Amino acid sequence: QALGQGMACPSSFRQRSQQRPGKAPPAAGGSRADAKGKVRAPGLVQYRLGAPEVGELPALEDAYLSILKGVGENPATPKAMQFLTKGYQETIEDILNDAIFDEDHNEMVIVKDIDMFSLCEHHLVPFFGKVHIGYLPTKKVVGLSKLARIVEIFSRRLQVQERLTRQIALAITEALKPAGVAVIVEASHMCMVMRGVQKMNSRTVTSTMLGVLREDPKTRGEFLTLIKN
């Protein structure tokens, strides 16, 4: 997936939603007919589940109107979902801007305990936690707040934690060309807490190591020790 590009509705989610037993197939024009032949408004699965492009807001409003009416709630505009998926409309180039600096520094840089909030693409419920980032510069460093901004870009999308971890690491690698990058994400998933197995204290840890931080055990050990202290 190219950095900064949008992501389509996950195929597994879309297929399950469109193949529910007992549901009539979609009618012409994307609408769906019920058992009495009455055409209902199209559902969420017929729209890209990302922040809307210019001109797409009415479609997103229609989708949420259908959902809210279906569960018996009063309809509202989808401003919350726009914010939660705003990462689709942002790119690494936009947020880094001129914040990459030439610096004669080749020791490890770590920013840890970056707050992260995202949405599970399979269940559309939150997962949240901390992100720890480390990199070994090769004469170039980035403004520290920009590392948190990179986390924000990729977490404000429909995500899975494994992909989120790797996307952050690859974005830093592409921007800085460092000797190595390490990213660790620790998160609690509401799809495991409020539904399913309902394990309140479970946490998921994922990591991506690139360059020397993957190849050199001592360097990797230094990073792991520093983020724990």
State phi, psi for 218 to the nearest 5 degrees.
-65, -45
Q: Is 105 a catalytic residue?
A: no
Q: Is 121 a catalytic residue?
A: yes
For the chain, domain boundaries: 11-86, 94-228
Q: Cβ of 73: how many Cβ atoms within 10 Å?
A: 10
What pTM value is reported for the model?
0.68
Q: Is 161 a catalytic residue?
A: yes
Per-residue pLDDT of the chain (229 residues; tens, 9 = 90+): 444 444 444 444 444 444 444 444 444 444 444 444 444 434 333 333 444 454 466 777 777 778 777 766 666 556 777 788 889 889 998 899 889 999 999 999 999 999 999 998 888 889 899 999 999 999 999 999 999 999 999 999 999 999 999 999 999 999 999 999 999 999 999 888 887 778 778 899 999 999 999 999 999 999 999 999 7
Q: Is 191 a catalytic residue?
A: yes
* Sheet with 126-136, edge to edge strand ranges: 158-159, 109-120, 126-136, 180-189, 204-211
Residue among 9, 105, 186, 191 flagged as catalytic: 191
Distances (CA, A) of 63 to 29, 57, 77, 119, 175: 15, 10, 10, 18, 37
Q: Is 122 a catalytic residue?
A: yes
Residue among 18, 61, 123, 186 flagged as catalytic: 123
Q: Is 120 a catalytic residue?
A: yes
The β-bridge relationship of strands 180-189 and 158-159 is: unpaired
Could you give the CA distance from residue 60 to residue 71 in angstroms, rounded to a whole number?
17
Q: Is 9 a catalytic residue?
A: no
Residue among 90, 161, 167, 222 flagged as catalytic: 161
Q: Alpha helices, DSSP H only, in 42-188?
A: 57-70, 79-84, 92-96, 144-155, 161-176
**For domain 94-228, which architecture applies?**
2-Layer Sandwich (3.30)
Could you give the CA distance from residue 124 to residue 126 in angstroms, rounded to a whole number?
7
